[in-house]
Amino acid sequence: MNKLQELKKHLKRGKVYRRADLSKWSKSVDRHLDELVQEGTLQKLSQGLYYYPEVTVFGETPPEEEVLVRSFLKDKRFLVTSLNAYNTLGVGTTQLYNGKTVYNHKRHGDFNLGGMMFSFRVKPHFPLKATPEFLLVDLLNNLDQLAEDSNEVVLKVRSKARTMDVRKLKKSLQEYGSVKAKKMLEPVFTV
């Protein structure tokens, strides 16, 4: 069995690999990666990041977002969200956005991973899961990125905040809110 075939034995469908992961099974990892991409076994997602696609009756599936980001960061501490998530709050945001935001502790910048754009932002604190309270605070933190009229959105956010669990909202605001977000929600708590 040649070295390329031996490397293939270690690959599992649906898994994302870093170049470094495969170097333990190959002394010529760059050549073997080129060959595997050329023959269609692996897909190159980004510099040093590869995917062995799962095949369904509908064709090859893209990598799961969580797996892709975890492999890229080499870390499991992150939160993937989107400006689209604010639309679920019922505060007048209706635009659809293409990109995803990844709050993490390691990488900062915009990266194309397997044809999907991710905006990685280093943040000291973020929840493991996006709650409505976190999303409301995050919306205020990112108000300048929204296409909607910001004054109108702030009025609706304040109205929505009055219907939420005050304790949870205050905690989210304290932990994740910018100074600007805290000032915008101040009238809600002083009533």
Per-residue pLDDT of the chain (191 residues; tens, 9 = 90+): 588 888 899 999 999 999 998 988 888 999 999 999 999 999 999 989 999 999 889 988 889 899 999 999 999 999 999 999 999 999 989 999 988 999 999 999 999 998 889 999 999 999 999 999 999 999 999 999 999 999 999 999 999 999 999 999 999 999 999 999 999 998 888 75
* Predicted model pTM: 0.85
Residue 10 to residues 7, 39, 56, 100, 129: CA-CA distances in angstroms?
A: 6, 17, 21, 31, 33
**Which H or E element spans position 169?**
helix 166-176
- CA–CA distance, 78 with 61 (Å, rounded to integer): 23
Confidence at residue 109, expressed as pLDDT on a 0 to 100 scale: 96
- CA–CA distance, 175 with 133 (Å, rounded to integer): 11
Confidence at residue 191, expressed as pLDDT on a 0 to 100 scale: 59
Q: Are 19 and 50 in contact (CB under 8 A)?
A: yes
Which residues 6+ apart lie within 8 Å of 55 measured at CB?
13, 61
Q: Are 36 and 10 in contact (CB under 8 A)?
A: no
Confidence at residue 101, expressed as pLDDT on a 0 to 100 scale: 96
